[in-house]
Amino acid sequence: MKVLLGTGNPAKLQEMREILGEIPGIEWVSALDLNLPEPPEEGKTLEENAILKAVLYAKSSGLPAIAEDTGLEVAALSGAPGVLSSRFAGKEKDYAANNKKLLELLAGAADRTARFRTVAVLALPDGRFWTS
């Protein structure tokens, strides 16, 4: 059975393949293999983005699809940047600018506790999905 790994990001694709490993009877294919466009990340939460991506990839490919969204959540910023992590300093997805903005906002903050949170979703072509 083919299962689509729903990302157009080569680094994320490699990470997903490493995490999932080899499963007897499963052939991992990627959105890149099928030339599928990356869905827009229009959700207001990590969950919404992961669901949107998985469902769109499953419907457009006709295959079960796994997609995810990850964000950095900083306690001193009430969980920000969260879903906006990759676009924190602007739409360009500039990691250096994102880090600079984050450090500026955290200047003088006593609590710099932060975590990366990932939401993964498995979706079927009929629109059903499951989140983790």
| Residue 97 in this model has a pLDDT that exceeds 90 | no
Q: Which of 33, 69, 111, 126 is catalytic?
A: 69
- φ/ψ of 3, rounded to 5, equals -130, 130
- Strand, helix or coil for residue 67: strand
> What average pLDDT does the chain have?
93
What would the CATH number be for the domain defined by 2-131?
3.90.950.10
Read off the pLDDT of residues 1-28 as tens digits, 9 standing for 90 and up.
Answer: 999 999 988 999 999 999 999 999 999 9
pTM of the model: 0.87
Give the DSSP letter string of 68-109.
EEEEEEEGGGTT-EETTGGGTT-TT--HHHHHHHHHHHHTT-
Read off the pLDDT of residues 29-78 as tens digits, 9 standing for 90 and up.
Answer: 999 999 999 898 899 999 999 999 999 999 999 999 999 999 999 999 99
Which uninterrupted H or E stretch holds 58? helix 46-61
N-to-C CA span, the chain: 22
Is 69 annotated as catalytic?
yes
Distance CA 74, CA 99 (A): 12
- Ramachandran assignment for 84, one of left (phi > 0), alpha (psi -120 to 50 degrees), beta (any other): alpha
User: Looking at residue 99, what is its pLDDT?
Assistant: 86
